[in-house]
């Protein structure tokens, strides 16, 4: 490809390369170029398989396998683009055996599977996924890994116990299913689902004071989840949270990410982004607009940082799960 470039283009590339060498950024640029090349290669392979198979099985990271579905944009992102890799690094660095993790908006189980592998038999994972088809795919991934420490619930968390209409994608945008108006996809069906409050679930399952971490990704409904968990999340020993901030989704649900930030602050949380190279938290100030960001909310960030630093690097930091699929499977 380099040989087909014009002389001016070659000189410009050589010049950029020399500048990166002088600045010491060449290794980072090489890694980025390799990642972009690998992403294009994977996407081309993925598209070539549509219509030939229903899905494939990958090694997500050491010890964790996952079934992906070729009719899902989320599955494509996981396979082709190292979807939410920093967040997955945080999970691996923070969780410990014996912890209790709650996955609100579990989809097919990306966070559920990683968390279950880490917390082990002495820990517990509670996964909530209200869409029946996606829920079945979640169960398949749990069974694939022969996991016994996960409790899956075909429910949504909200601010009330009710039956609500969920907008379910019919064209591959299942990760954007929402109780509000979805922000991605063009074809949706409305399905009635059950909702519960986090406080009610915690009380019924004797989980008060035992939760380690909750991931909340519910396409604009995050504020309702917080309201339904006010009692649990108001406590000093409340779990740390990973909360999705997506402005468009929040506004279609009748709120905003600024309101979500303030709700978390009123509960006593401070907001951070995770910097994986040094395994530390960086303060994230309030904004008027959050395009898309997953924030870590913690009440005692110094304890979180201490736990992060105590985790020795493991082989999974080499971006486990980015190899070719182990085999295809039929759904």
* DSSP one-letter string for 106-140: -TTTHHHHHHHHHH-TTSEEEEE---HHHHHHHHH
Q: How many CB atoms lie within 10 A of CB 182?
A: 22
Residue among 98, 106, 146 nearest 126 (CA) = 106
Average pLDDT (301-313) is 86
| Cβ within 8 Å of residue 307, ≥6 positions away | 94, 96
pLDDT at 2: 46
**CA 144 centroid distance within chain:** 20
Residue 10 pLDDT > 60, yes or no? no
| Cβ within 8 Å of residue 237, ≥6 positions away | 209
Q: Provide the H-helix boundaries in 151-266.
A: 198-204, 222-228, 230-234, 247-252, 257-266
For 227-237, write each residue's pLDDT tens digit.
Answer: 999 999 999 99
Is residue 270 classed exposed, middle or buried when 0-12, 13-18 and 19+ CB atoms within 10 A define those classes?
middle
Residue 188 pLDDT > 70, yes or no? yes
**Structure token pair of residue 184:** 């991605």
Question: What rounded mean pLDDT belongs to the chain?
Answer: 90
Q: Report yes or no: 159 and 221 within 8 Å, Cβ to Cβ.
A: no
Percent of the residues in the chain that have a pLDDT greater than 70, as a whole number:
86
Q: How far apart are CA 301 and CA 86, in angstroms?
A: 18
Q: How far apart are CA 236 and CA 1, in angstroms?
A: 58
For 121-146, write each residue's pLDDT tens digit.
Answer: 999 999 999 999 999 999 999 999 99
Average pLDDT (6-15) is 63
**Higher model confidence: residue 319 or residue 176?**
176
Quote helix, strand, coil % in the chain, to nearest 5.
Answer: 40, 25, 35
The architecture CATH gives domain 84-317: 3-Layer(aba) Sandwich (3.40)
Pairing of strands 124-128, 100-104: parallel
Average pLDDT (294-317) is 83
Residue among 124, 64, 63 nearest 99 (CA) = 124
> pTM of the entire structure?
0.87
For 26-83, write each residue's pLDDT tens digit.
Answer: 677 777 787 788 899 999 999 999 999 999 999 999 999 999 999 999 999 999 998 9
pLDDT at 312: 56
**Structure token pair of residue 307:** 């736990």
Query: What are the boundaries of each domain within the chain?
Result: 84-317
| Cβ within 8 Å of residue 7, ≥6 positions away | none
Residue 313 pLDDT > 90, yes or no? no
Least confident of 20-29, 221-230, 257-266, 296-305: 20-29
Strands laid side by side in the 280-283 sheet? 150-153, 124-128, 100-104, 213-216, 240-245, 293-298, 270-275, 280-283
Residue 18 pLDDT > 70, yes or no? no
CA angle 176, 137, 223 (to 5 degrees): 35
């Amino acid at each position: 490809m380099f040989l087909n470039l014009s002389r001016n283009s070659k000189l410009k590339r050589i010049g950029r390369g020399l500048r990166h060498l002088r600045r010491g950024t060449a290794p980072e640029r090489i890694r980025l170029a390799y990642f972009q090349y690998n992403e294009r290669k994977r996407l081309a392979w993925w598209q070539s398989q549509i219509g030939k198979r229903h899905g494939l099985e990958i090694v997500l990271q050491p010890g964790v396998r996952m079934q992906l579905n070729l009719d899902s944009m989320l599955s494509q992102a996981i396979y082709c683009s190292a979807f939410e890799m920093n967040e997955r690094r945080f999970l691996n660095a923070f969780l410990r055996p014996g912890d209790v993790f709650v996955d609100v908006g579990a989809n097919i189980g990306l966070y559920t599977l990683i968390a279950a592998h880490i917390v082990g038999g002495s820990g517990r994972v509670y996964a909530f996924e209200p869409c029946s088809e996606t829920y079945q795919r979640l169960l398949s991934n749990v069974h694939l890994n022969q996991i016994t420490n996960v409790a899956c619930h075909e429910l949504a968390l909200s601010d009330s116990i009710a039956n609500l209409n969920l907008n379910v994608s019919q064209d591959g945008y299942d990760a954007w299913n929402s109780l509000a108006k979805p922000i991605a996809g063009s074809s949706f069906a409305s399905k009635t689902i059950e909702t519960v409050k986090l406080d009610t679930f915690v009380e019924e399952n004797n989980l008060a004071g035992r939760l380690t971490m909750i991931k909340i990704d519910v396409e604009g409904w995050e504020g309702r989840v917080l309201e339904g968990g006010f009692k649990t999340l108001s406590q000093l020993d409340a779990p740390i949270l990973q909360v999705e901030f997506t402005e468009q989704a929040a506004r279609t649900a009748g709120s905003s990410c600024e309101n979500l930030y303030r709700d978390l602050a009123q509960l006593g949380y401070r907001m951070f982004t995770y910097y994986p190279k040094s395994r530390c938290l960086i303060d994230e100030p309030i904004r008027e607009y959050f395009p898309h960001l997953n924030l870590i909310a913690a009440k005692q960030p110094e304890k979180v940082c201490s736990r992060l630093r105590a985790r020795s690097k493991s082989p999974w930091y080499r971006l486990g799960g980015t190899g070719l699929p182990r085999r295809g499977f039929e759904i």
